[in-house]
């Protein structure tokens, strides 16, 4: 219960949403952890985990009951659903209810925001950059798909955008030869290349401008990999998104040190400032709280019946635009200051609401 309560506290603090409008919900469908089931102090449901049709029926009934009780414009946020359920449930409900998955869409938006801020430094749009992802779960795929949407809006085709994104999972580089074990979402990014599990080898072959970690493998971005990125690029872009800090693909200090301060770095967990060669670097944290309060505020004010994917792209763009020149040039920080999130949320809400209103007028 602590997670939804904490999330709702951020809605209030960062989005200005009234506390009495918020309700935390936990779905308990049991556990297969025998140690927990045998623990007399375990407070969860004492039964084996529910899956399949029974699980789907529970969620269907909840969605119907919540909107019947509170209205069709009730905003429902999904959080911490496992990969096998996250996309399925989002696809199932997003066109029927006002719902979003913060792990997929919020994460995607905040990462794309950081990438767009980085393009202000490199001078080249996202559509001209090749990207390597280490980690192809719900978060990694969500980021990749939103990157594709941004690239298409910049003028290239969907296929050209997908061709620029190279993804790696526990099985290594996602290639066409692995098609039998891949989902349709993964197949969009499958490459006609030799299979390999070596990140360094992929970086050397692909020569990417962007390296993104969503693997939860601590230290996966080794010194060799980071130095290779610096060798390829004048300003390499490296995002180590896994959290907590103990699972980050690389630390901020390593990223700056191994690139001699040229890296444009962001992380999923907070890192202290880094001093190198007489300069202070302030690594940005790609936290979803830059995004979801503003999107939610728009949905509430506009009484939205559903939240389009475009809302998260608009939020990402506004977040990137809100990074000051001083932050970019002096500190290489890719995100706004935390104290500016309340104002950012209002601007995101305005952008999203304006877009929704424009769509209605066109109809």
What predicted TM-score, i.e. pTM, was given to this entire model? 0.93
- The verdict on whether residue 287 carries a ligand-binding annotation is yes
**φ, ψ for residue 212 (rounded to 5)?**
-120, 130
Cα dist from 23 to 40, 151, 305, whole Å: 29, 37, 18
Euclidean distance between CA atoms 117 and 254, whole angstroms: 21
Note the pLDDT of residue 363: 55
Q: Judge contact between 167 and 144, C-beta under 8 A.
A: yes
Residue 37 host element (H or E): helix 34-38
Take residue 272 and report the two structure tokens written for it: 């202290």
List, run by run, the mean pLDDT of 10-residue segments along the chain (363 residues): 91 93 94 94 93 95 96 94 89 95 95 98 97 95 97 97 97 92 92 95 98 96 98 98 94 98 96 94 95 95 91 98 95 94 96 81 57
Euclidean distance between CA atoms 28 and 8, whole angstroms: 19
Q: What is the number of H-type helices and E-type strands within the chain?
A: 15, 11
Note the pLDDT of residue 360: 62
Strand positions, DSSP E, 52-198: 75-78, 98-101, 131-134, 165-169, 172-173
Q: Judge contact between 159 and 152, C-beta under 8 A.
A: no
- The verdict on whether residue 277 carries a ligand-binding annotation is no
Tokens 């529910």 found at: 50
Take residue 20 and report the two structure tokens written for it: 């009495």
Euclidean distance between CA atoms 293 and 342, whole angstroms: 9
- The verdict on whether residue 103 carries a ligand-binding annotation is yes
Euclidean distance between CA atoms 258 and 261, whole angstroms: 8
Q: How many CB atoms lie within 10 A of CB 219?
A: 13
- The verdict on whether residue 79 carries a ligand-binding annotation is yes
From the centroid of its chain, how far is CA 323?
Answer: 18
- Residues pairing with 173 in the sheet: 168
Q: Which structural domains are found in the chain, ordered by start?
A: 1-101 (3.40.50.10380), 118-288 (3.40.50.720), 289-361 (no CATH)
Note the pLDDT of residue 2: 87
- The verdict on whether residue 85 carries a ligand-binding annotation is no
């Amino acid at each position: 219960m602590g997670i939804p309560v904490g999330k709702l506290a951020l809605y209030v603090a960062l989005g200005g949403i009234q506390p009495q409008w918020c309700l935390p919900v936990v779905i308990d469908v049991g556990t297969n952890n025998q140690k927990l089931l045998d623990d007399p102090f375990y407070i969860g449901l004492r039964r084996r985990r529910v899956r399949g049709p029974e699980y789907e029926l529970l969620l269907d009934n909840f969605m119907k009951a919540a909107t019947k009780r509170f209205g069709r414009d009730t905003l429902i946020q999904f959080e911490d659903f496992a990969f096998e359920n996250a996309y399925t449930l989002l696809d199932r409900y997003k066109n029927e209810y006002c719902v979003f998955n913060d792990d997929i869409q919020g994460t995607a938006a905040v990462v794309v925001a950081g990438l767009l801020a980085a393009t202000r430094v490199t001078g080249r749009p996202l559509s001209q950059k090749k990207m390597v992802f280490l980690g192809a779960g719900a978060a990694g795929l969500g980021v990749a798909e939103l990157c594709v949407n941004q690239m298409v809006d910049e003028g290239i085709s969907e296929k050209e955008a997908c061709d620029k994104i190279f993804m790696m999972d526990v099985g290594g580089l996602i290639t066409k030869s692995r098609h039998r074990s891949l989902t349709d979402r993964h197949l969009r990014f499958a490459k006609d290349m030799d299979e390999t599990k070596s990140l360094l080898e992929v970086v050397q072959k692909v020569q990417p401008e962007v390296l993104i970690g969503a693997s939860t493998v601590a230290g996966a971005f080794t010194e060799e990999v980071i130095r290779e990125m610096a060798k390829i690029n004048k300003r390499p872009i490296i995002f180590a998104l896994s959290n907590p800090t103990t699972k980050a693909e690389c630390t901020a200090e390593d990223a700056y040190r191994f690139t001699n301060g040229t890296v444009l770095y962001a992380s999923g967990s907070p890192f202290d400032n880094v001093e190198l060669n007489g300069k202070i670097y302030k690594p940005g944290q790609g936290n979803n709280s830059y995004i979801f309060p503003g999107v939610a505020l728009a949905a509430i004010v506009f009484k939205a019946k559903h939240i389009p994917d475009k809302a998260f792209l608009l939020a990402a763009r506004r977040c990137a635009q809100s990074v000051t020149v001083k932050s970019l040039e002096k500190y290489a920080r890719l995100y706004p200051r935390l104290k500016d999130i309340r104002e950012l949320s209002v601007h995101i809400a305005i952008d999203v609401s304006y877009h929704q209103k424009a769509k209605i007028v066109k109809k």
